[in-house]
Amino acid sequence: MSEKILYSYTGIFDTPDEIIHAAEKASEYGFKNYDVHTPYPLHGMNKAMKLPPSKLGYVALVVGLSGALAALLLMFWMSAVDYPIVIGGKPFFSFPAYVPVMFEVTVLSASIATVLTMLFIFFKLPNNAHPLNDTLYMKKVSSDKYGISIQAEDNKFNEADVRRFLEDCDAKEITAVYYDKEEINYKHKILEPKFIGFLLFTALLTSGVTYFTLNKLLYMPPFDWMMEQNKLNPQATSTVFDDGFGMRKPVEGTIARGFTPYSFSGQPEAAEVNLVNPLPVSKSVLELGQQKYDTFCSPCHGYYGEGDSRLRGQFPNPPSLHSEKIRTWKDGRIFHVITDGQNIMPSYSSQLTVNEIWAIVHYTRVLQRALNAKESDLQ
Amino acid sequence: MSATQNVDYQKKELPKKFQTVGTVLFVIGLIGVIAAYLTDGSRSAFNNIIMLMFLTSIGLGSLFLVSVEFVAGAVWSTPFRRIPEFLSSILLVLPIVVVPLLFKLGDIFHWMHPEVVEADKILTGKAPYLNVDFFIIRVIVFILLWIIFYYFITKNSKKQDTTFDQSLTKRNIKLSAAFIPVFGITISFTAFDWLMSLEPHWFSTIFGVYYFSGSILAAFAAVTLIVVWLNENGYLVKGLTKDHYYSLGAFMFAFTNFWAYIAFSQFLLIWYANLPEETFWFLQRWEGSWIYFSIGLIFVRFVIPYVGLISQPSKMDPKRLIIMSVWLLFAHWYDLYWLAMPNYSKEGVLFSWIELTFPLMAVGIVILLLVQLSKKNNLVPIGDPKLKRGIDFRL
């Protein structure tokens, strides 16, 4: 057993008024290291103890503003720099849309920081070894009494004086509180090497486990069974075929279901001569053509085929479909361009069925005719 | 019985100069207003609407503060509840402020012209609500309702000064509970009628809340201004502390934020949806010199009071409180001007002596009302059973 050291003198009061008066007297007397304990917060205590305004507000202010700034930069980076996507026709950097997020992050970061700062920095928690713990005094003031504790380290502390002071205040149960020297620790508990080590260990553990799970574990059996199926993925090497290609051409003389072969690939002139539009010019065909044209062709060629692309220069503007050249092309030639592509214009044969392509061809004629009407149309 | 409440209150006459200042402002304002009406009738009518809405804000908002105190059983504001009670007497002059507008309705609201409504599908659809008869009925009924509640609530409160009868508090609690929903509905529709229908094609469901937030802020500013001044000069009950000041300041700060929250919500939804039938209202306020005025609104109504009131000491400093409350009252006028004026002057901000005479008159009216009421009544509800607890209020 080590020697006992005096921590403080404590006194108990029955009513909130008494404790407020006692606190007023204590601050007037000039005590600095004293504290009051009440079962619930008492209005007016700050003033009675002459406490300066709390500095906690500054934590909230600084962290809150940093949170707002961080949110702003984050969203600016994501939506205007790193991955710009047009959303709802708004500019990439659209401040009004960021405000709610900035607001939320401000509140969130400020409140979390305030609570953590209060608990760990201001209150110096966790503090299991506090001398007042496990005393009768603490039991009482945490249920229905009000207490004051004047610490021995105060400059004005003097056992006889303090005892007299507490008696003058009409305190009951004036007792001295002692502690063992090795038990007390005034340092911030969170700065202890053990605690910091624990934090580091937890951080390493969680990131290590996460890394291992996502990068290793999921590639081990049985977790990889979904991924490793008994089939060949595109582009993968085959061990079955001699040439080692996993992707095979259809067997000679066969065609896949639902696939219509195109025999004029790379031969626009032949297509023009040999292909005839099988569809009648009817309202439903033209409507189908319009619908498909608006979906697949208008982004580049414009709704009226004038080459006014909507892609804002992300793809070269195509020539007008109203040129003399195209107007005199036979249907088969336009069919060929759509099916086979032409220079940088890609083929649309995988998106459109043969009938849809012919419908589009009819519809292009409608567009052309609208700009270059025949004499008879005008009568 | 709390007849023996030992509070330290000595009724003092307000200085004579208030009467003089109030009269001078009122007379100058009145002459100005008449001259304004003779020079430019419809422009004056728009200014008159702003004045009407400003006075309604403070009068009705103050009555709301009084009734909230009763319903919530709040004690902190009891020592100076007389001030919002006095301010709500503004409701009594509203019928007079409305009168000139009734002659100018056609100039202000284009939905009041039957031939316009007939040619316009949207206005025809809104006609069951937006028509002259119903409009006038609403105006009369609303003002009447407010005055009735004002009359009974303040009557009970004053009676308590001499009778010390606690049951009067009970009666006022019931009256207040009835008044609050009436308040909520009437203030929203008042905002729709006088401000939103200036642009009858436009609609915003949050508009009533927008006007509410500004009104309560203006009411708090007016109460703070008067309470702090009176208390600093010893006209109120002894014992009011920084805690009372802090609460008033905190409310002004809170409602500054509330206003910004509502104003931004309204803007954000309209901006996001980008529907032409909603956006045009903001675009109008982005045209010509209105753009500067609109950006100014953000600073005048939000940034400056926000910074001015954010710190704890600033909410306890009487000087700061007085400056900020005067500023907030100005900001409320500025906001109302922003709501109403672009409908009159599409090209840009208008400002001349016409715009000055109406605020002068409004301030004159309020000062005269206060001086008048303070002659006959105590400035403190000395018979209120909550008074002592209100003085002892600590944060």
Query: DSSP labels for B267-336?
Result: HHHHHHH--HHHHHHHHHTTSTTHHHHHHHHIIIIIIHHHHHH-STGGGT-HHHHHHHHHHHHHHHHHHH
Cβ–Cβ of A99/B268 closer than 8 Å? yes
Query: DSSP labels for A69-122?
Result: HHHHHHHHIIIIIIS----TT--SS-HHHHHHHHHHHHHHHHHHHHHHIIIIII
First to last CA, chain B: 27
Cβ–Cβ of B271/A96 closer than 8 Å? yes
Amino acid identity of A155?
A: N
Provide the pLDDT for residue A149: 92
Q: With contacts defined as CB-CB under 8 Å, which chain B residues touch A88? A: 272, 274
Provide the pLDDT for residue A184: 64
Distance, CA of A246 to CA of A235 (rounded, Å): 6
Q: Kindly state whether B376 is in contact with chain A, defined as any CB-CB distance less than 8 angstroms.
A: no
Cβ–Cβ of B272/A97 closer than 8 Å? yes
Question: Which residues are bridge partners to A147 per DSSP?
Answer: A12, A37
Asked if residue B58 lies in contact with residue B87, where contact means CB atoms within 8 angstroms, the answer is: yes
The H or E element that residue A176 is part of is strand A172-180
Q: Kindly state whether B271 is in contact with chain A, defined as any CB-CB distance less than 8 angstroms.
A: yes
Asked if residue B168 lies in contact with residue B156, where contact means CB atoms within 8 angstroms, the answer is: yes
Query: pLDDT digit string (tens) for A5-33?
Result: 888 999 999 999 999 999 999 999 889 88
Question: Which residues are bridge partners to A11 per DSSP?
Answer: A148
Q: Kindly state whether A96 is in contact with chain B, defined as any CB-CB distance less than 8 angstroms.
A: yes
Between chain A and chain B, the number of residue pairs with CB atoms below 8 A apart is 22
A159: three-class secondary structure by DSSP: helix
Cβ–Cβ of B267/A89 closer than 8 Å? no
Give the burial class of A225: count Cβ atoms within 10 A of its Cβ; 0-12 exposed, 13-18 middle, 19 or more buried.
exposed
DSSP code at position B23: H
Which residue of chain B has the CA closest to A90? B272
Provide the pLDDT for residue A350: 86
Q: Which stretches in chain B have pLDDT values below 70?
A: 1-5
Q: With contacts defined as CB-CB under 8 Å, which chain B residues touch A43? A: 393-395
Give the burial class of B203: count Cβ atoms within 10 A of its Cβ; 0-12 exposed, 13-18 middle, 19 or more buried.
middle
Tokens of B192: 């729709």
Amino acid identity of A192?
A: E
Band of residue A185 on the pLDDT scale cut at 50, 70, 90: low
Provide the pLDDT for residue A374: 83
What average pLDDT does this structure show over A148-161?
88
Cβ–Cβ of B394/A43 closer than 8 Å? yes
Residue A167 has pLDDT above 70, yes or no: yes
What average pLDDT does this structure show over A125-149?
88
Provide the pLDDT for residue A1: 44
What average pLDDT does this structure show over A232-237?
82
Q: Kindly state whether B283 is in contact with chain A, defined as any CB-CB distance less than 8 angstroms.
A: no
Distance, CA of B224 to CA of B62 (rounded, Å): 11
* Residues above pLDDT 90, as percent of chain A: 55
* Reported pTM: 0.72
Which residue of chain B has the CA closest to A46? B395
Cis peptide leading into A222, omega within 30 of 0? yes
Asked if residue B165 lies in contact with residue B159, where contact means CB atoms within 8 angstroms, the answer is: yes
Provide the pLDDT for residue A195: 85
User: Does the interface predicted TM-score (ipTM) exceed 0.85?
Assistant: no
Tokens of B331: 């900001």
Residue A281 has pLDDT above 80, yes or no: yes
Asked if residue A323 lies in contact with residue A307, where contact means CB atoms within 8 angstroms, the answer is: no
Provide the pLDDT for residue B2: 43
Cβ–Cβ of A43/B395 closer than 8 Å? yes
Cβ–Cβ of B264/A99 closer than 8 Å? yes
Q: With contacts defined as CB-CB under 8 Å, which chain A residues touch B271? A: 96
Residue A337 has pLDDT above 90, yes or no: yes
Q: Kindly state whether B4 is in contact with chain A, defined as any CB-CB distance less than 8 angstroms.
A: no
Q: Are strands A172-180 and A4-13 parallel, antiparallel or unpaired?
A: antiparallel
Cβ–Cβ of B274/A88 closer than 8 Å? yes
Residue at token pair 């001349």: B352
What average pLDDT does this structure show over A254-260?
80
Please tell me the CATH code under which domain A268-373 is placed: 1.10.760.10
Question: Which residues are bridge partners to A237 per DSSP?
Answer: A245
CA distance B267 to chain A (A): 9
Give the burial class of B6: count Cβ atoms within 10 A of its Cβ; 0-12 exposed, 13-18 middle, 19 or more buried.
exposed
Q: Would you say how long chain B is, in residues? A: 395
Give the burial class of A259: count Cβ atoms within 10 A of its Cβ; 0-12 exposed, 13-18 middle, 19 or more buried.
exposed
Cβ–Cβ of B274/A96 closer than 8 Å? no
Domain ranges of chain A: 1-190, 268-373
Query: pLDDT digit string (tens) for A57-66?
Result: 899 999 999 9
Cβ–Cβ of B268/A47 closer than 8 Å? no
Query: pLDDT digit string (tens) for A95-128?
Result: 999 999 999 999 999 999 999 999 888 887 777 7
Question: Across the interface, which of A53, A89, A99 has its CB nearest the CB of B312?
Answer: A53
